[in-house]
């Protein structure tokens, strides 16, 4: 597959037929972009335009360029070259198989090496509190395990260079690490979200209003710090959840760690770079 | 007259896909008319009526629904002609996975539900394997991995088809299907033939037999062990 170095969104019109504020917006490989705005502001349509590689032929008249050029019809039509992989809260595993067999089948379909399977399960287990075992049936995995496995699978097996994450807010996984894992594979990541942890994890965010892109905001240094703190809150919630599940009592010291200095998940970082 | 035939399993989302696609077609030079065939009952005429285009519904009742669709094709084309449509879209209720309702010069569209499991494309039979376009629905409910496996399994059954992901609820992807319908340039002739044959011979059940025992059955009969014979005149 052709390498995707960047995508360019050329602005069209909003719901009132006026030109969008943002005339042109580039997203480079490995970048994480948030898409925020009230319900009905056109977030999903923007995603749809990117997914379909619209050429001024959708209701918004937007155009999407790949590496600065109009994408070939091969790229638009060949089902094996689907550019966008999606992750959302409503998605489930429905196949009645165990985790290992399922990953093997997926790897086989994509012509990928089978030796990645244990790595995927290991990575997924870094994102969730409850470990996934290779012989677990897919359909009995919890919400958090399911989402974690989906993220790791998209990172390693799916070749799609663009990943779209649609409101994955209450997934019960370490969101920060999940994003790091995906961007570590040099994917372009677009996150539609109402969740501050997710929105502030993005380097830039597109503000949507009345069907149009009204502004693009760079995350400020202060927001980056806040983002790390929020990520801590997130992890504490996950940890508390596990403790309650295991029949433990919660003490004050268990919440106090929210306000400690954030540490980098070194294990994860090492994995990504290998 | 262009002919578009849509087939698919019950509940796969044929009607929802069609409604979203027709909304887009209406904004173009295309003048669509719709015929909906169902087996026992339908209220889809009401759903289609909101689109303000010519709509005809037919119930196949005691006849095989695909046979009914094909048998009445001339009448449907006349209906579309009379209403000055240039594209007849027919939605069938084909059920048995053994035949396909597509003719040589139609645009054959198969709608398949991705939540039906990765083995389903292989089992779906001729209405998938001889379709021009395979529309995959409900992709928003399953994992990316399953979507990719599903797509591969469709290509195994039909290597030359185009695959479109469409969300029947919000219409995402329907614009792409509309584009294919507009770009399709074959016209239906008065010598149309089916792309694929139906099951051979007459079925005793089709002519009303209700008794189960083997001795009451005639026609082309096949045993569990694969042995096949013809009993009858």
Domains of chain A with bracketed CATH = 6-273 (3.40.50.300)
- Identify which of B96, B82, B80 has the alpha carbon closest to the alpha carbon of residue B188: B80
What Cα–Cα distance (Å) separates residue B3 from each residue in A211, A233, B189?
A: 35, 58, 10
Phi and psi angles of residue A31, each rounded to the nearest 5 degrees, phi first: -85, 150
Interchain contact, A109 vs B142, CB within 8 Å:
no
- C-alpha A87: how far from chain center: 6
Chain A residue with the nearest C-alpha to that of B141 = A91
Write the residue in A52, A90, A109 that is nearest to B141 by C-beta: A90
Biggest CA–CA distance in chain B, Å, is: 59
Asked whether residue B217 is domain-assigned, the answer is yes
With vertex at residue B64, the alpha carbon angle to CA B205 and CA B196, rounded to the nearest 5 degrees, is 110
Asked whether residue B207 is domain-assigned, the answer is yes
Which residue of B148, B175, B183 to mutate against A (max A Cβ within 10 Å)?
A: B148
Strands A24-28 and A6-10: antiparallel
What Cα–Cα distance (Å) separates residue B27 from each residue in A260, B89, B182?
A: 58, 16, 12
- Residues B148, B105, single domain; the answer is yes
Instruction: Give the distance from residue B119's alpha carbon to the nearest chain A alpha carbon, in angstroms.
Output: 9
- A–B CB contacts, 8 A cutoff, strictly below: 76
Residues of B with Cβ-Cβ distance to A105 under 8 angstroms = 118, 149
- Residues B114, B139, single domain; the answer is yes
Asked whether residue B195 is domain-assigned, the answer is no
- Residues B141, B233, single domain; the answer is no
Residue A64, beta-bridge partner list:
A9
- Residues B159, B204, single domain; the answer is no
| Tens-binned pLDDT, residue by residue, of chain B (233 aa) | 999 999 998 889 999 999 999 999 998 999 999 999 988 888 888 888 889 999 999 988 888 888 888 889 999 999 999 999 999 999 988 667 778 889 999 999 999 999 998 888 988 889 999 999 999 999 888 888 898 899 999 999 999 999 998 988 888 888 889 999 999 999 999 888 999 887 776 678 777 888 888 888 888 888 888 888 888 87
Instruction: Give the distance from residue A261's alpha carbon to the nearest chain B alpha carbon, in angstroms.
Output: 35
Task: Give the residue ranges of chain A where pLDDT is below 50.
Answer: 261-264
Asked whether residue B136 is domain-assigned, the answer is yes
Asked whether residue B191 is domain-assigned, the answer is no
CB-count burial class (<10 Å; 0-12, 13-18, 19+) for A111: exposed
Q: What is the predicted pLDDT for the residue at B141?
A: 87
- Identify which of B16, B13, B37, B25 has the alpha carbon closest to the alpha carbon of residue B178: B25
Rounded Cα–Cα distance for residues A160 and A188 (Å): 9
Interchain contact, B151 vs A80, CB within 8 Å:
yes
Judge contact between B14 and B100, C-beta under 8 A. no
- Residues B6, B47, single domain; the answer is yes
Q: What is the predicted pLDDT for the residue at A241?
A: 82
Rounded Cα–Cα distance for residues A150 and A87 (Å): 7
Write the residue in B115, B144, B163 that is nearest to A154 by C-beta: B144
What Cα–Cα distance (Å) separates residue B75 from each residue in B36, B82, B88?
A: 13, 10, 11
Rounded Cα–Cα distance for residues A24 and B48 (Å): 39
- Residues B151, B211, single domain; the answer is no
- Residues B93, B171, single domain; the answer is yes
Asked whether the ipTM of the predicted complex exceeds the cut of 0.90, the reply is no
With vertex at residue A195, the alpha carbon angle to CA A87 and CA A191, rounded to the nearest 5 degrees, is 35
**Is B175 in the A-facing interface, judged by CB distances under 8 Å?**
yes
Instruction: Give the distance from residue B100's alpha carbon to the nearest chain A alpha carbon, in angstroms.
Output: 23
Q: What is the dihedral of CA A224, A225, A226, A227, to 10 degrees?
A: 50
Rounded Cα–Cα distance for residues A146 and A63 (Å): 34
Rounded Cα–Cα distance for residues B109 and B180 (Å): 10
CATH code for the domain of B120: 3.40.50.300
What Cα–Cα distance (Å) separates residue B184 from each residue in A273, B120, B150, B180, B193?
A: 48, 28, 26, 6, 18
Judge contact between B21 and B13, C-beta under 8 A. no
**What pLDDT digit, counting tens, does each position of B58-109 carry?**
988 888 888 888 889 999 999 999 999 999 999 988 667 778 889 999 999 9
Could you identify the residue written with the tokens 């496995």? A149
Asked whether residue B163 is domain-assigned, the answer is yes
Rounded Cα–Cα distance for residues B40 and B164 (Å): 30
**Is B171 in the A-facing interface, judged by CB distances under 8 Å?**
no
Phi and psi angles of residue B109, each rounded to the nearest 5 degrees, phi first: -120, 125
Query: How many Cβ atoms are within 10 Å of B73's Cβ, its own excluded?
Result: 20
- Residues B7, B113, single domain; the answer is yes
- Identify which of B161, B169, B120 has the alpha carbon closest to the alpha carbon of residue B141: B169
Rounded Cα–Cα distance for residues A98 and A135 (Å): 5
Asked whether residue B132 is domain-assigned, the answer is yes
- Residues B118, B205, single domain; the answer is no
* Parent domain of B216: 200-233
Query: How long, in residues, is chain B?
Result: 233
For the residues of chain A, what is the DSSP string, one character each?
-----EEEEEP-B-TTSPBPS--EEEEETT-EEEEE-STTSSHHHHHHHHHTT-BS-STT--EEEETTBPPPHHHHH-GGG--EEEEETT-B----SBHHHHHHHHHHHTT--GGGHHHHHHHHHHH-SS---TTSBGGG--HHHHHHHHHHHHHHT---SEEEEE--TTSSS-HHHHHHHHHHTT-EEEEE-S-HHHHHHSSEEEEEETTEEEEEEEPPHHHHHHHHHHHHHHHHHHHHHHHHHTTPPP-HHHHHGGGSPP---HHHHHHHH-
Asked whether residue B190 is domain-assigned, the answer is no
Q: What is the predicted pLDDT for the residue at B131?
A: 96
Q: What is the predicted pLDDT for the residue at B98?
A: 78
- Residues B124, B230, single domain; the answer is no
Structural domains counted in chain B? 2
Query: How many Cβ atoms are within 10 Å of A18's Cβ, its own excluded?
Result: 11
Q: What is the predicted pLDDT for the residue at A262?
A: 47
DSSP B142: B
Q: What is the predicted pLDDT for the residue at A270?
A: 57
Interchain contact, B162 vs A93, CB within 8 Å:
no
- Residues B125, B169, single domain; the answer is yes
**What pLDDT digit, counting tens, does each position of A208-256 carry?**
999 999 999 999 999 989 988 888 888 888 888 888 988 999 988 887 6
**Is B156 in the A-facing interface, judged by CB distances under 8 Å?**
no
- Residues B45, B129, single domain; the answer is yes
């Amino acid at each position: 597959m052709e390498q995707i170095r960047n995508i360019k969104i050329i602005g069209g019109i909003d719901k009132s037929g006026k030109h969008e504020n943002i005339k042109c917006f580039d997203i480079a490989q490995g970048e994480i972009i948030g898409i925020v705005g009230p319900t009905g502001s056109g977030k999903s349509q923007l995603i749809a335009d990117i997914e379909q590689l619209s050429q001024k032929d959708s209701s918004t008249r937007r155009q999407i360029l790949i590496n600065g050029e109009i994408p070939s019809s091969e790229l638009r039509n060949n089902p094996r070259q689907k550019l966008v992989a999606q992750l959302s809260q409503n998605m489930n595993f429905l196949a009645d198989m165990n985790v290992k067999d399922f990953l093997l089948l997926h790897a086989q379909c994509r012509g990928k090496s089978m030796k990645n399977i244990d790595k995927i399960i290991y990575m997924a287990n870094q994102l969730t509190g409850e470990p996934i075992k290779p012989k677990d049936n897919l359909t009995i995995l919890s919400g958090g395990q399911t989402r974690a496995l989906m993220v790791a699978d998209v990172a390693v097996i799916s070749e799609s260079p663009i990943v779209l994450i649609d409101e994955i807010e209450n997934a019960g996984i370490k969101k920060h690490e999940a994003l790091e894992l995906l961007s570590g594979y040099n994917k372009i990541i677009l996150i539609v979200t109402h969740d501050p942890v997710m929105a502030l994890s993005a380097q830039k965010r597109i503000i949507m209003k009345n069907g149009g892109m009204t502004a693009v905001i760079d995350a400020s240094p202060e927001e980056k710090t806040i983002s790390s703190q929020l990520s801590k809150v997130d992890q504490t919630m996950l940890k508390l959840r596990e403790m309650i599940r295991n029949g433990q009592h919660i003490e004050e010291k268990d919440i106090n760690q929210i306000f400690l200095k954030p540490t980098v998940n070194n294990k994860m970082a090492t994995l990504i770079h290998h | 007259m262009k002919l578009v035939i849509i087939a698919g399993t019950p509940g796969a989302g044929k009607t929802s896909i069609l409604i979203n696609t027709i909304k887009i077609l209406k904004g173009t030079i295309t003048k669509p008319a719709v015929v909906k065939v169902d087996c026992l009952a339908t209220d889809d005429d009401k759903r289609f009526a909101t689109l303000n285009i010519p709509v005809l519904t037919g119930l196949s009742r005691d006849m095989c629904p695909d046979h009914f669709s094909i048998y009445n094709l001339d009448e449907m084309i006349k209906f579309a002609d009379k209403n000055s449509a240039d594209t007849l879209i027919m939605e069938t209720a084909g059920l048995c996975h053994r035949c396909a309702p597509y003719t040589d010069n139609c645009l054959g569209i198969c709608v398949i539900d991705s939540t039906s499991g990765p083995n389903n494309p292989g089992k779906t039979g001729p209405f998938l394997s001889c379709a021009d376009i395979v529309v995959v629905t409900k992709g928003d409910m399953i994992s990316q991995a399953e979507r990719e496996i599903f797509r591969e399994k469709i290509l195994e059954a039909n290597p030359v088809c185009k695959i479109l992901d469409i969300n029947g609820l919000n219409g995402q992807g329907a614009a792409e299907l509309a584009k294919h319908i507009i770009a399709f340039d074959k016209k239906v002739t008065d010598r149309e033939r089916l792309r694929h044959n139906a099951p051979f011979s007459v079925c005793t059940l089709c002519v009303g037999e209700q008794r189960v025992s083997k001795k009451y059955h005639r026609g082309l009969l096949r045993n569990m062990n694969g042995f096949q014979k013809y009993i009858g005149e």
